[in-house]
Amino acid sequence: MTNSINELDHAQVILVAGSNTTEAHPQVARRIFHAVDNGAALIVIDPRRTRLADKARIHLQLRPGTDIPLINGMMRCIIDENLIDDLFLSMRTENYFALRDMLLKVDLEETAALTGVPRKLIARAARTYARAQRSTICYCLGVTQHVCGTANVETYANLAMLTGHVEQEFTGVDPLRGQNNVQGACDMGALPAVFPGYQSVADPRIKKKFEQAWGVELPATPGLTLLDMTHNRGAASGSALQKALPRLRAMFVMGENPMLSDPDLHQVEKTLKGLDFLVVSDLFLTETARLADVVLPAASFAEKSGTVTNSERRVQLMHRAIAPIGDSRPDHRIIMSLARRMDFAMDYESPAEIMEEICLLTPIYGGMYHDRLASSHGLQWPCTDRAHAGTPYLHKYSFTRGRGRFVPASHVEPAEPVDADYPLMLITGRRYHHYHTGTMSRLCPTLDREEPRPRLDMHPDDAAALQLRQMDRVRVSSRRGSCEFNLHITPRTPPGTLYCDFHFHEAPTNKLTLATADPTARCPEFKLCAVQVRKGGAG
């Protein structure tokens, strides 16, 4: 997030895109509710009528995958009504004319037809967002998990820059991160092209700094993305890019369950089974761990100390509550033992000592010492040294790259449009009571009772057309596979669109999804694939 979660309380306009905030980020939703209580206008962009949309002043119920034309339409209205922030544009941004030229070609009638959102509503949302002093954008995986995920995000950034709704409190462009430490994992370089703190692997000076600190030679080329690893055995349908990938021979998977969470599971299975050696470190024997040559028992959150970094870049100290059970060990102990077996003398006394090294080598974490974190509710990066108080919101006087660059984008068709054989669009996501592939939450009796079986949300019109009834067993098939759900008929899902989660091994949703991914981020289009539905069960 460019801004802090608490700032949402005082925003005048909150635009939420592709986020079922009440279910996926309840602690953020609480701030949004609070802001709405205090008179803030809420704009929700979502194909489904989520519970948050019930609270919205404007719900733009767009056709799935049409974020870019919708936001371009809003920006066109903003230009037409001269609601742009001239000063911000001239002082802080570049390439505005390219955006303007593109927007001037936008036909709002076409936009309305393409997105399914009435023109008047687009204009109203544009006015509401642009006119307020303090407008903020929150987005989530509904924006990013598309073949055009990067362009989607750039388009929302264009909207924020066009109206100058960045660089100050209560504004910004805020991606809501899904897990307690997914931000921390990215920050610490669990990405193929960067060292910790987003320092480029390709930069020779940075590479040298880390080589000096660790006393080893480091590769100068970026590694593989997750998708390129789990889809490493180039499928017949795989892209040329995938076929050109170096062949993976071994993998070490920590706390991840790609055998349920990655798209087109058939390909994942083929890849994992084709490895010479697979090691999985996890709390329980997951679907992925079952394929492993070696499984290492990892300690849970309650059994280890360290830090986690949340959506708002806040690094928080986490204290061990109980001693590790059985043979399980905290992650850093597992890695250290492995490193020593590989003749690298990795030896840290404590997580605090590891943090000291992070402070030394990672400028944005420069002042995040454990003793400082212990005496506060955490610090937000950038926090460059011991005296630095942390940064509640980013881009105050300049963007990281200097001027903010407008990157105009136009509509990208879904990778797999619907057709006569597969006439329905399937959106995948999460449910409130379960976490990820259910490896933990499904073992908790109370949570599992709340959401005991995989369900498929369908609009009553579609159900009537298919002659299906509430709680019927249905078989959903795509070109790649099929699985069974219990039908949940609800008007919250629009006609022609289905919604399901991926928490259940009984219904491995990712057998259905497709691995076509955004060319830049390599994030697959989890949010859309074409499917058909038949009555399932014994019949």
> Contact 390/397 with Cβ under 8 angstroms?
no
* Residue 75: DSSP 8-state: H
**Residue 471 beta carbon to another protein: minimum distance, rounded to whole angstroms:** 5
Which one, 25 or 511, has the nearer CB to another protein? 25
Query: What does the alpha-carbon distance between residue 332 and residue 429 come to, in Å, rounded to a whole number?
Result: 31
> Contact 415/523 with Cβ under 8 angstroms?
no
Question: Closest Cα to residue 92, out of 156, 198, 164?
Answer: 164
Q: What does the binding site for another protein look like in residue numbers (CB under 8 A)?
A: 22, 26-27, 29-30, 33-34, 51, 54, 319, 432-433, 445-446, 449-450, 452, 471
Which one, 377 or 401, has the nearer CB to another protein? 377
From the number of C-beta atoms within 10 Å of its C-beta (0-12, 13-18, 19+), residue 502 rates as buried
The torsion defined by the Cα of 280, 284, 290 and 292, in degrees rounded to 10, comes to 20
The torsion defined by the Cα of 376, 4, 312 and 259, in degrees rounded to 10, comes to 130
**Residue 37 beta carbon to another protein: minimum distance, rounded to whole angstroms:** 8
**Residue 157 beta carbon to another protein: minimum distance, rounded to whole angstroms:** 30
Q: What are the beta bridge partners of residue 345?
A: none
Question: Closest Cα to residue 229, out of 212, 198, 252, 207?
Answer: 252
3-state SS class at 367: coil
Which one, 23 or 80, has the nearer CB to another protein? 23
Give the angle 105-172-130 at the CA atoms, nearest 5°. 45
Which one, 389 or 471, has the nearer CB to another protein? 471
Six-digit token pair at 526? Answer: 């989890």
**Residue 533 beta carbon to another protein: minimum distance, rounded to whole angstroms:** 19
**Residue 30 beta carbon to another protein: minimum distance, rounded to whole angstroms:** 5
Which one, 126 or 373, has the nearer CB to another protein? 373
From the number of C-beta atoms within 10 Å of its C-beta (0-12, 13-18, 19+), residue 413 rates as exposed
Q: What are the beta bridge partners of residue 47?
A: none
**Residue 398 beta carbon to another protein: minimum distance, rounded to whole angstroms:** 36
Which one, 33 or 195, has the nearer CB to another protein? 33
**Residue 491 beta carbon to another protein: minimum distance, rounded to whole angstroms:** 12
**Residue 432 beta carbon to another protein: minimum distance, rounded to whole angstroms:** 7
**Residue 451 beta carbon to another protein: minimum distance, rounded to whole angstroms:** 8
Which one, 230 or 493, has the nearer CB to another protein? 493
> Contact 91/178 with Cβ under 8 angstroms?
no
Which one, 304 or 433, has the nearer CB to another protein? 433
> Contact 153/139 with Cβ under 8 angstroms?
yes
3-state SS class at 111: helix
